[in-house]
Structure formats: C-alpha cells, structure tokens
Amino acid sequence: MKYLLLLVLASPLFGNTLEIDPDRFIKLQGEVNEKTISVASEIEKLYSDNDDNIYLLLNSPGGSVLYGNLVIAAIEQAKSRGIEVVCLSTAYAHSMAFNIMLECSKAVVLKSTSLVFHPVRTKMIGTAKDLMQRAHKMNLMDLDLINRISAVIGTSPSDIAKMYYAEKEWTGIEFFNFQIRKHFIIADKITGVIGLFK
C-alpha cells in the first residue's frame, strides 16, 4: 500500500502529492549514535536493490558527527547513482540531523518542524596545545558547514553565519522563507493508514 504526503506548495519534484513506498522508507528517530549505523546500512541496501527514490524520516536532536557522516556518505552514494533521497521531518531536525537533511535531494518539513544548526561542539579534554589545535579544526569545520548551507539553500554565507552563531531555532515555515533555493519544502499534513510516520 502507498502512503501520501500532502504538500501545500506545488514543486517540480513532487507536484501536489507525494506517494511513498513503505519498502523504500527508513526512520532515524532519536539521537544520532552508534545505532545509526543501521540507517546507513539500510540506505546502502536500498540503493543496491533498485533506482527508486529513498525516503528518510528524521526526527532527531542530533548527536555524533562520526555516525551522522556515515548516513551522509550513504546518501551521497545513492545520489551518485541517480537516486533521489528525500528527507522528511515531522517534529525536529537539530544539529547533525539538520546536516543530514542538507545532503538529501530534497527536505520536506511541516510548518511547525523545529530546525537548528549551530557551531561544532566537543567534549575533548587535554593540554592547552591540544585544545588550540582542536579549536582551529573546529573553526574550519564551522566555516565549511556555513558555506555548505549557503550552497544548498542559496542564502549568502554572511547571513547564514549570523544565524549559525546565534543558534537560532527555526520553524519549518521560517526556514522555508529564509532560503532562496527551495531545498526545504513545506508539507501541509501527513497521512498514513497505519501510522507510517509515527
């Protein structure tokens, strides 16, 4: 059985409705951690099976950069094969989860979905020299992410940086209006006969 995501805004990618095949649907809910390896593995399995779209539901506060990057790498591989990877978030995509949404072919959110991106954090301890070296690397990572967000949504790096360092919490509709390229698409509501999106 197919499920429908109902879109408020028509788009060249979806039109007014989006049919989602449950067999091509993956969930990443909760913290991004070692359990997230299974999500990356599932994406790899799906892109190896056939060329149909893959749908990833993301409702996460973020978490590990290491494990999040495994999901991003799997998404990149799928896209390199010409497969659309569509991310959806019905509640929130913060920190690393937001970074994953950037990598998707398109990101579909509700008007009320909470979105947050912010500077890199670390729990590292060590000598002053260790911390200075780490701080330099983190600054480079921050600049890289700011430029990546800018490249995806078309808003200037300087405008992104202001919000990035302020750690603003966005609603889906606020972020939709902030972006220039419409990578993030607003959904009116989501329907599912047996709770596919719960």
Q: Report the alpha-carbon distance of residue 9 to residue 94 in Å, rounded.
A: 24
Cα–Cα separations (whole angstroms), residue 119 to 39, 109, 116, 164, 189: 25, 22, 10, 7, 31
> What's this model's pTM, rounded to 2 decimal places?
0.85
Helix (H) or strand (E) holding 114: strand 114-116
Instruction: Assess contact for 63 and 32: CB atoms under 8 A.
Output: yes
pLDDT for residue 9: 46
The confidence score (pLDDT) of residue 37 equals: 96
Domain 3-116+168-190, CATH number (from 3.90.226.10, 3.60.15.10, 3.40.50.150, 3.30.420.110): 3.90.226.10
Sorted by where each begins, the domain ranges of the chain are 3-116+168-190, 119-166
pLDDT tens for residues 80-131?
Answer: 999 999 999 989 999 999 999 999 999 989 889 999 999 987 777 778 888 8
Q: What band does 193 get if pLDDT is binned at 50, 70 and 90?
A: very low
pLDDT of residue 191: 59
Q: Can you list the pairs that 13-17 forms with residues at least 24 positions away whose Cβ atoms lie under 8 Å?
A: 13/84, 13/105, 13/106, 13/185, 14/106, 14/185
> What are the tens digits of pLDDT across the range 24-76?
889 999 999 999 999 999 999 999 999 999 999 999 999 998 999 999 999 99
